[in-house]
Amino acid sequence: MTVFQNLIRVCLLLPLLLSVSLSDAGLPAIIDGQPLPSLAPMLERAVPAVVNISTISRIETAEHPLLQDPVFRRFFAIPEEQRKNHSLGSGIIVDAKRGLVLTNHHVIAKASEIEVRLNDGRNLVADLVGADPDTDVAVLRIPAKDLTALPLADSDALRVGDFVVAIGNPFGLSQTVTSGIVSGLGRTGLGIEGYENFIQTDASINPGNSGGPLVNLRGELVGMNTAILAPGGGNIGIGFAIPTNMARVIMEQLVEHGAVRRGLFGVEVQDVTGELVAALNIKDRSGALVTSVNKGSAAAEAGLREGDVILTVNGKAVSSSADLRNRFGLLRVGEQVELEIIRSGKPRRLTGAIADPYRDYIPGARLSPSLAGALFGELDRQNGIPAIPVGTVETNSPAWNAGLREGDRLLQVNDQVIDDLRDIARLLRQADGLYSLRVQRGDQLLLLARR
């Protein structure tokens, strides 16, 4: 075919091509009686419940306690530097009547001020209700006026292959939507959080998506986007979300107590290996093998013994030792526990209750108003170092504002070594207040100065 013939052919087809383009531009909502599939109606309902979160964090100019004293800073005109971090993450309005916003702990960690930007453009100052670093869950409260909340789904009903949509603010791009499927369930052992039971998805999750929702096609919250696996620093289609059921349990405790009050069962477990299946006379590798039971613990009172294999907790199957740890970690103090176990090849049922690990601790308010909101145990000598163990610390309480956190070991008060709880009360009474605390936090020794 010649060039001239090709030109004639194009001219003849041009009107037809134009008519197709024009008709596509105005594509009808229904073709052959069937509506076109679209996520737009669902997103129109869900997106107003997704918020952008930014924080203000104060930068300390020095570590010396005197430079952290506001009176000293004002006297010597030492400026207080601040840094505003924009679009650090996302959040989910889960209760419109109470103004509750769910997000990740790492999004608001170390923040002195938290600002929430709604989909309608409003900027609101948020109060921190409580946070749980072990599950990376935090709850904020904003003024409850004209808010839209996401309904919560039963995340236990999710199946691998279900379609899901992630909504958030990656890289500061507000209200970005990505879609994918559930790639895996019950992911543990990733070393991301203390308690892990992640939903894995291939929906694109990037920096800024943290704390945003993972929703099903009905626009119901099934998970909270938390982390990605990114060896090269970019998204490779492996993202993780905290299941709604797990986030809900943590949220309820944070709203009620300002902190998570985890109980203690007093049992050590390990995974059931292939070699142990025959030795234990069990069917498969599911469950968790009991390796030790703490004397006088709730597990001992329930009748659990070394060598038992725990198959279910409250009717739900246990897949591994990590799964069992997650289940116990989400149970409240005093909550009843029903266990199905295998002992010497025979099935048994045991019942017990989650014990309070701080039942013998005393409230800090009994020692000094400066320590109100924290619980303190009797002096012990863990690793040869005498210290007062610190139990739960209520968010924004005097003890919290002094810098104390659950799990700390108190070594000194106002630069004085302490021998018992009475020493704390005496030292604070003599000094007419709290000036400094020295604590052991993990492997670190910290000097906390009251600001």
In tens, the pLDDT along 72-113 reads 455 555 555 555 555 578 999 999 999 999 999 999 987 888
Any domain includes 260? no
User: Do 449 and 65 touch, CB atoms closer than 8 A?
Assistant: yes
Catalytic residue among 210, 320, 370, 436: 210
Asked if residue 371 and residue 419 are part of one domain, the reply reads yes
Which residues are CB-contacts of 97 (< 8 A; sequence separation ≥ 6)? 144
Domain closes at, from 85, 113, 141? 141
Asked if residue 236 and residue 218 are part of one domain, the reply reads yes
Asked if residue 132 and residue 86 are part of one domain, the reply reads yes
Asked if residue 116 and residue 94 are part of one domain, the reply reads yes
Domain extent at residue 135 = 44-141
Catalytic residue among 54, 90, 95, 106: 106
Asked if residue 347 and residue 321 are part of one domain, the reply reads yes
Average pLDDT for the chain:
81
Any domain includes 372? yes
Domain closes at, from 96, 111, 141? 141
Q: Which two tokens stand for residue 170?
A: 């990656």
Query: Is residue 210 flagged as an active site residue?
Result: yes
Catalytic residue among 95, 136, 202, 308: 136
Query: Is residue 136 flagged as an active site residue?
Result: yes
Other CB atoms within 10 Å distance of the CB of residue 283: 10
Residue type, 280: L
Asked if residue 134 and residue 107 are part of one domain, the reply reads yes
Write the CATH number for 300: 2.30.42.10
Q: How confident is the model at residue 430 (pLDDT cuts 50, 70, 90)?
A: confident
Whether the per-residue pLDDT at 64 is higher than 70: the answer is: no
Q: pLDDT tens digits, residue range 207-240?
A: 778 899 999 999 999 999 988 766 565 666 788 9
- Percent of the chain surpassing pLDDT 90: 35
Reference 377, options 392, 364, 362; nearest CA is: 362
Any domain includes 26? no
Any domain includes 406? yes
Count of domains for the chain? 4
Write the CATH number for 71: 2.40.10.10
Any domain includes 7? no
Tally: H helices and E strands in the chain: 10, 27
Asked if residue 240 and residue 161 are part of one domain, the reply reads yes
Q: pLDDT tens digits, residue range 24-36?
A: 434 455 666 667 7
